[in-house]
Amino acid sequence: MKKKTDFIIGMLFATATIVFIVLFLSNDAFFDWAFKRHHNILSWYIRPLFIIPMVIFAFRKSYTGIFASIFALFTSMFWFPAPKTADPMVLEFLAFEMDYLRSAWTAPKIVMSLAVPLFFFMLLTAAWKRNWKWLLGVIIGAAVLKSVWSVAFSGEAGMSILKPALAGLVICILGLWIYFRKHKRAEKK
């Protein structure tokens, strides 16, 4: 794909992601519909896996791949049907998350929310520059900080995120290690 076309399609996905976030945060019916599906724990397990294609596309310098992966990560919260039953801890944690997202936008909340784009920036910059130590640090740091934030602010209910976060972390590191190992072998040949 030509660089200009790649950039244009990538910006369309970036715009679609912003539209999704604005719609999600401003439309109560859509917010409730999406969160009912986010109660399905499969969405918790799949979301961290989008880090793998994000990193690979940043490595390849593909804007389309990067922003399509980010769009998929955000929208994956509602890909699965709402569960018939949910773990009480999951329900409690998601109730906390919903309240947090619907609460007033105070200075501390804005600062905390800036951690998300900062994470993407650091992750993609590390992959773009092929700084593997920084990349690994960002991935591990994000998983740890998300887990700490969840437990610190929602109490015991935040523990419900630990298993999906740890599984996602292990799969991301393993998946990227396999990809970059194969890439190094191909470069040597």
pTM summary value:
0.88
Helix, coil or strand: residue 129: coil
Neighbours of 110 (CB within 10 A): 9
Q: Which pLDDT tens digit goes with each residue over 19-51?
A: 999 999 999 999 999 999 998 888 888 988 899
Hey, what are 101's tokens?
């997202």
Q: Which pLDDT tens digit goes with each residue over 103-116?
A: 998 998 888 889 99
pLDDT of residue 117: 93
Hey, what are 177's tokens?
């290690």
DSSP 142-170: HHHHHHHHHHHHHGGGGGGGHHHHHHHHH
User: What is the C-alpha separation between 85 and 118, in angstroms, rounded?
Assistant: 35
pLDDT of residue 112: 86
Neighbours of 44 (CB within 10 A): 23
pLDDT of residue 62: 96
**Which residues touch 109 (CB under 8 Å, ≥6 apart)?**
100, 103
Helix, coil or strand: residue 130: coil
Taking a C-beta distance cutoff of 8 angstroms, is the pair 71, 97 a contact? no
Helix, coil or strand: residue 175: helix
pLDDT of residue 187: 76
Residues with pLDDT less than 50, the chain: none
Domain ranges of the chain: 3-188
